[in-house]
Amino acid sequence: MIEIPVKNNHTLKDVLLMTENTPYHDDTGQLLKILVASEHARADALFRKDRRALESLLAEDFVEIGLFGRFSREDFLTRILPLFTLHSFSIDDPHVRRTGHDAAEISYRCTEDATMGRNKKSGSFGVTALYSLIGNLWKISRWEIMEH
């Protein structure tokens, strides 16, 4: 289990440095570290409600399919982020696989406690995130969390 407190474990700067220092991103172990760090940076940005940090992590075609609905990048950043509060988040048993030269998928179980408006969700969930390599940065194209 990888415990990811939603405060200051991996910063966006850490993710960028990891990405820049991995030529061609062919090492699966290193790619897993990069994507786990990116998932943490996403959780940290949500915890802090940091729109700029989230924007830098999300691809232009980003879609989130979550516990509270399906949202485009713009909807997520403008309508959902102000209402969403992430209380805690941890990652268990992450796995990564390359799905193309410039695409990868990370899947894991997470324990999440979150509120959107008056709706609270907490428990253990399955997460699948699709990443696209844009320039030399891995960006989230689709993030999906599923109840089991």
Can you give the pTM of this predicted structure?
0.83
Question: Residue 14 is encoded by which pair of tokens?
Answer: 């850490």
pLDDT tens, residue by residue, 11-65: 555 555 554 554 444 588 999 999 999 999 999 999 999 999 999 999 999 999 9
Residue 10 scores a pLDDT above 70: no
Domains of the chain: 12-147 (3.10.450.50)
Q: What are 58-101's pLDDT values in tens digits? A: 999 999 998 889 999 999 999 999 999 999 999 999 999 999 99
Q: What is the pLDDT of residue 67?
A: 86
Check residue 15 and give its pLDDT. Answer: 52
Q: Is the pLDDT of residue 3 over 70?
A: no
Per-residue pLDDT tens for 90-142? Answer: 999 999 999 999 999 999 999 999 999 999 999 999 999 999 999 999 999 99
- What is the spatial distance between Cα 114 and Cα 3, in angstroms, rounded to a whole number? 16
Largest CA distance in the chain: 45
Taking the C-alpha atoms of residue 96 and residue 108, their distance in angstroms, rounded to an integer, is 9
